[in-house]
């Protein structure tokens, strides 16, 4: 009798199968479902949970725990989560796919980040594995360049290159953080493609 009244009122019982399908599709990773194509001349290997990529520019190795299975089939790399519908595993699904894709691109093309240093008296110079900076402080700033990346400085234009995307990005970000661009004159570091929002200074009376 209760079911009849629910139908009359337009209330429907949830379908457990449809609900499960919707939940799973909600947490599926669009990045994780993508296929990574291995370019010609690139060698990829999977030993247990350790993935390696070797290309014209070098070799990268990274460990991927067993929450997501990596499949290498010819020149295609695919990824399968070990637990369907698990939010954490599906997040790792996309992350693993991104890391592997970045590794393949890195050993073939490499990555480049560019910084521009603006400000009167500000200077940048690379000597060996040291990036020397004059940033308006009472002392010079010396930054050790980590192994695996190359840094050049020309007319306060600093270029960071390497095959490891994370290393290139983190090093560039750490250098930029030493003197972030101020909003009035734009003095400091900013990325070459970054738009620094400016503020209007105080007007004279």
Round to whole Å and give the CA distance between 51 and 44.
7
Structurally, at CATH architecture level, domain 27-108 sits in: Alpha-Beta Complex (3.90)
Round to whole Å and give the CA distance between 169 and 162.
10
* Domains 27-108 and 111-191 in one fold: yes
CA atoms within 13 A on the CB side of 48: 5
Cβ contact 68:80 at 8 Å: yes
Round to whole Å and give the CA distance between 58 and 77.
19
Q: What's residue 124's pLDDT?
A: 95
Q: What's residue 167's pLDDT?
A: 97
Find how far residue 76's CA is from the centre of its chain.
21
Strand pairing category for 111-118 and 123-127: unpaired
CATH fold group of domain 111-191: Outer Surface Protein A; domain 3 (3.90.930)
Q: What's residue 60's pLDDT?
A: 97
- List, edge to edge, every strand of the sheet that includes 130-134: 123-127, 130-134, 141-144
Please list the pLDDT of the chain residue by residue as tens digits (205 residues): 554 444 444 444 445 444 444 444 445 568 888 899 999 999 999 999 999 999 999 999 999 987 899 999 999 999 998 887 678 888 889 999 999 999 999 999 999 999 999 988 899 999 999 999 999 899 999 999 999 999 999 989 999 999 999 999 999 999 999 999 888 888 899 999 888 777 776 665 5
Rounded to a whole number of angstroms, the CA Rg of the chain reads: 25
Identify the CA nearest to 84 among candidates 23, 42, 133.
23
Cβ contact 163:53 at 8 Å: no
CB-based contacts of 32, cutoff 8 Å, min separation 6: 68, 79, 81, 90, 93, 94, 96, 97
> Domain residue spans in the chain?
27-108, 111-191
Q: What's residue 193's pLDDT?
A: 86
Q: What's residue 42's pLDDT?
A: 95
Round to whole Å and give the CA distance between 24 and 90.
10
Q: What's residue 87's pLDDT?
A: 82
> How many other C-beta atoms are found inside a 10 Å radius of the C-beta of residue 2?
6
Q: What's residue 202's pLDDT?
A: 67
């Amino acid at each position: 009798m209760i079911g009849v009244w629910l139908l009359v009122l337009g209330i429907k019982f949830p379908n457990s199968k449809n609900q499960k399908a919707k939940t799973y599709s909600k947490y599926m990773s669009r990045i994780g479902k993508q296929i990574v194509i291995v370019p010609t001349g690139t060698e990829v290997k999977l030993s247990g949970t350790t993935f390696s990529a070797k290309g014209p520019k070098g070799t990268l190795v990274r460990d991927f725990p067993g929450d997501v299975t990596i499949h290498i089939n010819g020149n295609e790399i695919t990824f399968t989560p070990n637990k369907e519908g698990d939010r954490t595993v599906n997040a790792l699904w996309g992350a693993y796919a991104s890391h592997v894709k970045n590794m393949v691109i890195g050993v073939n093309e490499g990555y480049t980040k560019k910084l521009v240093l603006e400000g009167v008296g500000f200077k940048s110079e690379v000597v060996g594995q040291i990036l020397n900076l004059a940033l308006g402080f009472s002392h010079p700033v010396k930054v050790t360049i980590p192994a695996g990346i190359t840094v050049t400085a020309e007319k306060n234009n600093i270029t960071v290159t390497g095959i490891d995307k994370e290393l290139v990005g983190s090093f560039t970000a750490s250098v930029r953080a030493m003197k972030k661009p101020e909003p009035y004159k734009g003095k400091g570091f900013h990325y070459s493609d970054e738009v620094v929002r400016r503020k209007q200074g105080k007007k004279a009376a």
